Amino acid sequence: AETKKLTGSLKNLNDNGKGEVLIQMNEMEHTVEMDYIIEGDRITLSTVIDVNQWNAQAGIEKLNEECYELHMAADGISKLWPDVKIQISSLLNKTCE
């Protein structure tokens, strides 16, 4: 769908190091669970998504065509997997009200 960037928004953070993020890509959106840690004033969230949930398999196939030899395995097969790790890191701005 000619998506130039992936966007999203934080839905919630639970006390157990888990949170939910709404991810938008290819005119679709899905909520995914992410792990998070807070260290000082920095929060880092991470998860692995399957881009097929956002109908992105054609993009993976096109990327594999462009990088065919780089992804060639010993068996002569070149393949990219649809699993993509996402990591978000941001500084927290503490405001007292």
Stretch (H or E) spanning 25? strand 18-25
- pLDDT per position in the chain (97 positions), as tens? 667 788 899 999 999 999 999 999 888 999 999 999 999 999 999 999 998 999 888 888 888 788 877 777 778 777 778 898 999 999 998 888 7
Distance of CA 68 to the CA centre of its chain: 23
pTM above 0.95, yes or no: no
| Residue that the structure tokens 């792990």 belong to | 35
